[in-house]
Amino acid sequence: MQRAIPLAVLALCSGFAAQGVLAQAQQGQAGGAEAAAEAFMQKLDADGSGGISLEEATAPQMEQFKQNDADGDGFITPDEASAAFAEQVPPEMMEAMKERGMPNPGKTFVENLDQDGDGKVSLEEFEQPTKESFAAMDTNDDGIADAEEAAAYFEQMQAKMQERMQQMQQQMQQQQQAPAQ
């Protein structure tokens, strides 16, 4: 069963480093998807080849995984994920999430990435969204995502994010109107 992964959960993974560049594109800043692709290429093209390999795309995740795996046992638990999320998010946002009854981000993180159902996330599970994103980005299946493929991918992601934001706004408007009826 595939689940939608909330942005807060993706922020923990940060393997593609797409959060900032997609946010920039979504805010309508100059360049949009092209700027996102350029930032992606600059950040991850370690060998300067002009393309990103799967190894380059997943390399930053090892460090992120180690940081989130506080006890070093090779797994991220809901408590470890919650602690990592709390370090990355302003306290007032955490409080607002609690007030709104939003689910625990660590628990959500594990529920969304735990493929084997053991209640924790392994490195392989942690890297899986990046591997899937890379496969979607590498449209010619040559094992390298170039700037053109990255721009097309980020354009698609920007459109999906805008669509989701519109859906969320519509749902919120419907919820606000429901008690008035």
pLDDT in tens, 68-81: 999 999 999 999 99
Angle of helix 32-44 relative to helix 54-68, nearest 10 degrees, comes to 80
The most confident of the ranges 99-103, 105-109, 137-141 is 137-141
Question: What is the rounded distance in angstroms from the CA atom of residue 125 to the CA atom of residue 69?
Answer: 13
Q: Helix (H, G, I), strand (E, B), or coil: what is residue 140?
A: coil
CATH number of the domain located at residue range(s) 7-180 in this protein: 1.10.238.10
Cα–Cα distances (Å) from 102 to 37, 65, 97, 122, in that order, read 32, 24, 5, 25
Q: What is the pTM of this model?
A: 0.71
Q: How confident is the model at residue 180 (pLDDT cuts 50, 70, 90)?
A: low
| Cβ contacts of 4-7, under 8 Å, gap ≥ 24 | 5/112, 5/113, 5/129, 6/105, 6/108, 6/112
For residue 51, what are the β-bridge partners? Answer: 146
Domain ranges, ordered by start, for the chain: 7-180
Comparing 12 with 148, which gets the higher pLDDT?
A: 148
Q: Answer whether residue 140 shows pLDDT above 50.
A: yes
Residue 79 tokens read as: 């408590």
- Confidence (pLDDT) at 17: 42
